[in-house]
Amino acid sequence: MKFIVGFLINLQFFTAIPVRTALPLDAAYIKKAVQTFPLLGLLQGSVYAGVLYLMLNGTPFSQLAIAFLLWLLTILLTGGLHLDGWMDASDAFFSYRDIERRLEIMKDPRTGAFGVLSVIVLLSSRLVFIFEITGNASFASYLMIAAIPFLSRQVMGYLLIRAGLAKQEGLASFFQKKAGSTSLIGYLVYTMFFCAAVYFLADDVLPSIVIMLAAALFMAVSLKKKIVDWFGGITGDVIGASVEGTELVLWMMVWLLHYFVMA
């Protein structure tokens, strides 16, 4: 029961999927929410892959239209939550101020020029990657697309638990204080089951998934250090920006794998 409630908390907080029930936010349930971050990502990735398959095989849409609709879905399904964090963190980072001033900038509800420019680069890059992936899509493509949010949510959970807090308030502080340090244990189990499923479905795709795993691990480790240097620790905005940055890197990896491994 707690496991299901934790997953529903994730749907309520981190997606645009309507969960209109008032859910308990006690520590036990928040811990389950953090433990199910990767499952939330796998659900999102499965939706992306499934919609792409249906559009490619069941509609007369052009490649550009399909790529645009999938790109749009990646925004709508999360309600743009993490994009907001990306813009706020970009404004703060590119201000080149000290940490205290950067935290103040992230709290400002107004979006500056750097936030606008950075989100344009992020979203346009993602659209290019999706467009080229859809032009050479195969069963392997669907598995790799499903892996993108699955891995990015693991990075989110890792940073949320292992990185220090920049401030003792906000969404990141709320989740970290209630989740506990043991919430990440299940991530390895999820990853092993996912890799086993990939091997069973298409064993030749497993090396590509391992490469994506390595990229996600690199992002987790490097961001943990850089976030402290740049912002003094994590905030909700920084976590959101980390998710978007990790997913951009993973979309790029899938794009490159289509050229150099699957060509």
Nearest to 93 by CA among 244, 238, 243: 238
Q: What is the DSSP letter of 233?
A: S
pLDDT for the residue numbered 263: 59
Phi then psi for residue 21, to 5 deg, are -80, 140
Q: Are 5 and 23 in contact (CB under 8 A)?
A: yes
Q: What is the largest CA-CA distance in the chain?
A: 53
Q: Are 26 and 45 in contact (CB under 8 A)?
A: no
Per-residue pLDDT of the chain in tens (263 residues, 90 and over written 9) = 788 998 999 999 899 988 888 888 888 888 899 999 999 999 999 999 999 999 999 999 999 999 999 999 999 999 988 999 999 999 999 988 999 999 999 988 888 899 999 999 999 999 999 999 999 899 999 999 999 999 999 999 999 999 888 887 777 888 888 777 777 888 999 999 999 999 999 999 999 999 999 999 999 999 999 999 999 999 999 999 999 999 999 999 999 999 887 75
Q: Are 70 and 47 in contact (CB under 8 A)?
A: no
CA–CA gap between residue 84 and residue 241 (Å, rounded): 8
| Virtual torsion, Cα 103, 106, 109, 110, nearest 10 deg | 110
Angle between helices 113-135 and 81-93 (to 10 degrees): 130
pLDDT for the residue numbered 108: 86
Quote the pTM value: 0.95
- CB crowding 170-184: b at 16 or more within 10 Å, else e: bbbbebbebbeeebb
Phi then psi for residue 159, to 5 deg, are -65, -40
**Following DSSP, what letter does each residue of 67-102 receive, concatenated?**
HHHHHHHHHHTTTTHHHHHHHHHHHHHTTT--HHHH
